[in-house]
Amino acid sequence: MSDEETLALGIVVVFGLIALALFFLPTFIAFRQDHRNRWVIFLINLVFGATVLGWVGALIWAMNKIDDPLKGGIKHDPQTHDPMV
């Protein structure tokens, strides 16, 4: 393998990892926030993430905790690190 081929392969690998990270961004956000539906968000992101609508839907759902008391919701499933109001 020549130096040019090695460099090209390295660039492809780096861009592939960046694309993979962006693809699973809704999943990363859901797990980071300990979203109660994080596994469902992961499945939606995995199955429908290739469509723009599925990816955007998973991202919006991951960023909103509908049971967050600070947003007017009712806490049905208390989790650790949830703010107490």
| 81: in domain | no
E-only strand ranges, the chain: none
| 10: in domain | yes
Give residue-wise pLDDT tens across range 21-32: 999 999 999 999
| 41: in domain | yes
| 83: in domain | no
Q: State the residue range of the domain holding 13.
A: 3-71
| 82: in domain | no
Q: How many domains does the chain have?
A: 1
Give residue-wise pLDDT tens across range 46-55: 999 999 999 9
| 9: in domain | yes
Give residue-wise pLDDT tens across range 61-85: 999 876 665 655 555 566 667 666 5
Give the Cα separation of 3 and 78 in Å (integer). 55
| 30: in domain | yes
